[in-house]
Amino acid sequence: MIKIYYVPGTRAIRPVWLCEELGIPYHREDVSFEPEFRASPEWRSINPVGKVPAMTDGDLTMFESCAMVQVILDRYGNGQLEPEKGSNEHAIMQQWSWFAESTLARPAGEIVNHHRAFGDNSIPEVLSEMSGRVRLCLLAIDKAMADREFLIDHGLSVADINMGYSLDLANRYVPFDDLVHAKAYYDRLASRPAFQRAVA
């Protein structure tokens, strides 16, 4: 059975949310987010840079949440939540999945890291720079979602699951209530029962 190493509020939400959407069995292994635990040889043998999440499935052990999502889909999706492989829509789905983690979650994550590392001594210029990068992504999503329910016409896909977590993260530091299409999209995703179970 799939085992997902989980910390609330982290990218572990993505693979858990996908399992919930697919209705497949998985085991959620709650782990500590304490730096000491994440630096331990035990955890570094699972995630070599001490981040969360990680996953095992049989003799497979892996990290990187969006890759985990794709592997779960490939192994257990039975064609759900993705268009035909090789199609343009599949390409656009991947585009938004990568955008979610590499382009939106990166500066949002750096805001988190900066606060964690410097606390009251945070440098306003750094936070402002990162917030600006997040905002640029949110504007792009707002524009993309002006006339659609999900990121691709196919319907809910793993791109929405990957993006849903990134929007959840962004919303904590760079709220975007004024971007009505992006906000409505985020609210739609966050109200899904599978998402609610993943964050519970």
Ligand X SMILES: N[C@@H](CCC(=O)N[C@@H](CS)C(=O)NCC(=O)O)C(=O)O
Q: How many residues bind ligand X (CB under 6 A)?
A: 12
Q: Does 51 bind ligand X (CB under 6 A)?
A: yes
Task: Determine if the peptide bond prior to 107 is cis (ω within 30°).
Answer: no
Q: Does 11 bind ligand X (CB under 6 A)?
A: yes
Least CB distance to ligand X at residue 11 (A): 4
Nearer to ligand X, 64 or 89 (CB): 64
Q: Applying CB under 6 A, which part among 22-30, 49-57, 86-94, 175-183 lies near ligand X?
A: 49-57
Least CB distance to ligand X at residue 117 (A): 9
Q: What are phi and psi of 150, to 5 degrees?
A: -125, 175
CA distance 7 to 83: 30
**Binder to ligand X among 19, 46, 52, 111 (CB under 6 A)?**
52
CB atoms within 10 A of CB 147: 7
- Ramachandran sector of residue 60 (left: φ over 0; alpha: ψ -120 to 50; beta: rest): beta
Q: Does 13 bind ligand X (CB under 6 A)?
A: no
Per the CB < 8 A criterion, the answer to whether 170 and 108 are in contact is yes
The SS3 call for residue 178 is coil
Nearer to ligand X, 68 or 142 (CB): 68
Least CB distance to ligand X at residue 38 (A): 7
| Site for ligand X, residues 112 to 141, rule: CB under 6 A | 113
Q: Does 55 bind ligand X (CB under 6 A)?
A: no
CA distance 45 to 76: 26
